[in-house]
Structure 1
């Protein structure tokens, strides 16, 4: 899959327009590897491997301005799939999203 297509798919997940994303590749243990650039390259060409971490940053800051800084979601009912079950599934993309 081309990197540009990947960013468009991420729009629906993270709520950030592709043109407002800055993506960074981190190793599975969290070490910074590189900034991901070049919409025509594939994820494999960029060095993305199983269990890689991709940080998505909102360069426009539009999304972070919509969320109150004091919002606490710890008491919101939600389902959390156990890591063991998630790891057993095939073809998944794990997304950890932070708003800074």
Structure 2
């Protein structure tokens, strides 16, 4: 690979990062604006509880959330969810 090819490749990777981050910022703004108009705080809380396994009627589990700060694509911070399921299925509760 020549020096010119290396420089061009480096410039393209920087350009890709800028474009990716700009498009992500634009999409993130659209999602947040939509969420403000269409999702209540209770719905958002219910979704987060479901994502972390804290709702009734599902298999017992422990969910950990790891924040990822990548140096490569997608270049922006995101959450990685890891679920560890219990060996014993949850029994339905009966109200008497």
More helix by share: 2
Provide the TM-score with structure 1 as the length reference: 0.25
| Structure with greater Cα Rg | 2
TM-score, normalised to structure 2, is: 0.25
